[in-house]
Amino acid sequence: MAQTDLYHLIENPEVLKEHGQDFGRIQFSNPLGVLRPTSVQELQSLIVDLTKKKIRVNIQGSAHTANGQSQCDQGVVIDLKSFNQVVQTGYDQDPPWINVQAGILWEEVLKHSLAHGLTPPTTTDWQKLSVGGTLSTGGVGFMSYQKGIQADQVLELEVVTADGEHLVCSHNKNKRLFNLVRAGFGQFGWITHAKLKLEKAPKYLEVLQCFCDSSKNFHQLIETLVQDAYFDCIHAFLIPKSLDEMKKKVSNSDHNALEKTWDQDQKATPQWIYFIELAKYRNHANPDPEVLKKIDLSLIWNNFLTQNRESFFDYIHKEPPLIEIQKKLGNLAHPELAILHPANHFVSWMDDFIMNLKIKDMGGGPILIIPLLSDKIHCPLFRHPIKGMFYFIGILRVEDQNSPTRLKILQQKNLELYQKSIQKGGFRYPCDSLEQPNCPKEWRIHFGEETWKKIEEGKKIFNSNHILTNSLGWFD
Ligand SMILES: Cc1cc2nc3c(=O)[nH]c(=O)nc-3n(C[C@H](O)[C@H](O)[C@H](O)COP(=O)(O)OP(=O)(O)OC[C@H]3O[C@@H](n4cnc5c(N)ncnc54)[C@H](O)[C@@H]3O)c2cc1C
């Protein structure tokens, strides 16, 4: 592919192959070249040149999307991992902040900030995601019900737009662009720098773990805990109800207690059980018996409740289940569904899902559940139920038989679940592998008229030639 001396594209077949895929391993594409930029000027030269040549382009952070959202077939892929430096810090400011190049991984941000006793308010469950990547999707974490999403915790961004401009944007400056690039999946410009808000990090966490064996009890427990706002982190998994699976979730020191409780459990059903983990920030390592009083024991499985302390660092650096599976089984396809589902329809939707859910349909992949509150989220393109509490539900399947037919079946199951969710006011979190929405007509419904109008206007201003593209099909 012809290039100029202002930027350098890698055309090595191995590199092209690596960047023609993402974590999902469902979509594979053939990029023409890969840019690993070291300066903003390089990005500006690239976009100006590609616009002239009418060649499309997409940007990748860590490529953890599941359906090609970070790929570009027959175009150029920007691999922003090379753009990964801390530029400036304001640790003693109010609020404290760190300004980074957007290809940096969150683990690097944390390495710097934790050394000064500071952390981003919300951290994702996997720190090898890039800053630019999660700001472009939303960035949900276990602390989101109180702190919101990462896209709302950014103070200022620097962006290269499709006409080659390098602009600073924030709530006070170029607000239109600021509102479009956050959760904008790279469709209005490339985030090159992010000034991130920080806050005081706790040293320890008081961690409580328990199980609920019905959706009704689970929802009642979580709803109360969210209202109390006592715990700093809340998340859960739906897991097969077996001693082995339950043991995998609780700390080793609690295995004996779990075995005893299991022996007393006379009920063969249900087949699935909710595992819940709650964490309270602490600056000392002493046990606090008060924490236990926050849990309504009548709602949890056989009164089984554990309490442990962990360092904040260890807690946020744990490998999520999907990465553990990948390390064990290698790279497999991930037919995933991620939805934001209204809390008042949670029980019926989950019960319907569980009724038809077979263990083999997950391929060992997790079902992750995180409560969120709509009034804590302001980023306009992060579409979610408008009122009250809702749940992030990630049905993160693994296709472990390398079978295209099975992959299709699992994708179809996800689609059916999604359709049932939108009927109840749910929305897709679009880094999953769902094949809908996939055209402007459908995205217009997803975003709603008011936001869609802003998206269309934004495209005319910042991506008028439709050079910035991805697999979601907002503009195709
Ligand atoms: C193991 C695992 C754990 C995950 N954990 C979480 C989690 O805790 N919370 C959560 O919200 N999501 C999570 N995700 C979902 C999701 O895939 C990521 O939020 C997202 O993909 C960000 O990661 P990334 O750096 O790999 O970005 P990519 O996947 O590379 O990019 C994501 C999207 O943003 C665009 N983009 C990337 N960089 C930029 C940039 N600098 N400027 C403009 N656009 C850009 C890309 O084109 C793409 O459309 C997880 C995914 C996996 C596989």
122 CA to middle of ligand 1, Å? Answer: 15
Which pLDDT does position 373 carry in this prediction? 98
Mean pLDDT over 432-456 rounds to 97
Is the CB of residue 70 below 6 angstroms from any atom belonging to ligand 1?
yes
Question: Is the pLDDT reported for residue 109 higher than 70?
Answer: yes
Is the CB of residue 365 below 6 angstroms from any atom belonging to ligand 1?
no
247 CA to middle of ligand 1, Å? Answer: 30
Task: Place 108 in a pLDDT band, splitting at 50, 70 and 90.
Answer: very high
Nearest alpha-carbon partner for 246 in 306, 292, 287:
306
* Atom of ligand 1 minimally distant from the CA of 322: 1
Looking at residue 142, what DSSP letter applies? T
23 CA to middle of ligand 1, Å? Answer: 10
Is the CB of residue 126 below 6 angstroms from any atom belonging to ligand 1?
yes
Residue 199 buriedness (CB in 10 A; 0-12 / 13-18 / 19+): middle
Mean pLDDT over 331-354 rounds to 97
CA 37: distance to chain centroid?
25
417 CA to middle of ligand 1, Å? Answer: 23
Q: What is the chain's mean pLDDT, rounded?
A: 96
C-alpha 340/C-alpha 362 separation (Å) is: 19
* Atom of ligand 1 minimally distant from the CA of 323: 1
The two structure tokens encoding residue 364: 């060992």
Which pLDDT does position 435 carry in this prediction? 93
pLDDT tens column, 197-226: 999 999 999 999 999 999 999 999 999 999
Is the CB of residue 320 below 6 angstroms from any atom belonging to ligand 1?
yes
Which residue in the block uniquely carries the two structure tokens 């607000």? 175
Question: Is the pLDDT reported for residue 4 higher than 80?
Answer: no
C-alpha 463/C-alpha 187 separation (Å) is: 7
Question: Is the pLDDT reported for residue 166 higher than 90?
Answer: yes
Mean pLDDT over 20-48 rounds to 97
Which pLDDT does position 288 carry in this prediction? 82
Task: Place 2 in a pLDDT band, splitting at 50, 70 and 90.
Answer: low
| Ligand 1 probe mutation, 27, 42, 72, 129, most atoms within 8 A of CB | 129
Q: Is 74 left (phi over 0), alpha (psi -120 to 50) or beta?
A: left
Outline where 202-311 has alpha helix (H).
215-228, 243-249, 255-264
**Is-contact 338 428, C-beta < 8 A?**
yes
Question: Is the pLDDT reported for residue 178 higher than 80?
Answer: yes
pLDDT tens column, 408-441: 999 999 999 999 999 999 999 999 999 999 999 9
Residues 398-414 as b/e (b if ≥16 CB within 10 A, e otherwise) read bbbeeeeebbeebbebb
Mean pLDDT over 225-247 rounds to 97
High-pLDDT (> 90) share of the chain, %: 94
| Ligand 1 probe mutation, 64, 67, 323, 467, most atoms within 8 A of CB | 64
396 CA to middle of ligand 1, Å? Answer: 15
Is the CB of residue 125 below 6 angstroms from any atom belonging to ligand 1?
yes
pLDDT tens column, 63-98: 999 999 999 999 999 999 999 999 999 999 999 999
Is the CB of residue 431 below 6 angstroms from any atom belonging to ligand 1?
yes
C-alpha 356/C-alpha 368 separation (Å) is: 18
Residue 125: helix, strand or coil by DSSP? Answer: coil
Pairing state between β 33-35 and 76-79: parallel
CA 283: distance to chain centroid?
28
Is the CB of residue 124 below 6 angstroms from any atom belonging to ligand 1?
yes
| Ligand 1 probe mutation, 26, 29, 109, 136, most atoms within 8 A of CB | 136
| Ligand 1 probe mutation, 27, 134, 432, most atoms within 8 A of CB | 134
| Ligand 1 probe mutation, 70, 76, 128, most atoms within 8 A of CB | 70
Question: Is the pLDDT reported for residue 47 higher than 80?
Answer: yes
Lowest mean pLDDT among 45-49, 186-190, 288-292: 288-292
Which pLDDT does position 3 carry in this prediction? 67
Which pLDDT does position 145 carry in this prediction? 98
Question: Is the pLDDT reported for residue 316 higher than 80?
Answer: yes
**Is-contact 24 394, C-beta < 8 A?**
no
290 CA to middle of ligand 1, Å? Answer: 38
pLDDT tens column, 128-155: 999 999 999 999 999 999 999 999 999 9
Question: Is the pLDDT reported for residue 267 higher than 80?
Answer: no
Mean pLDDT over 42-47 rounds to 96
* Atom of ligand 1 minimally distant from the CA of 61: 30
**Is-contact 26 68, C-beta < 8 A?**
yes
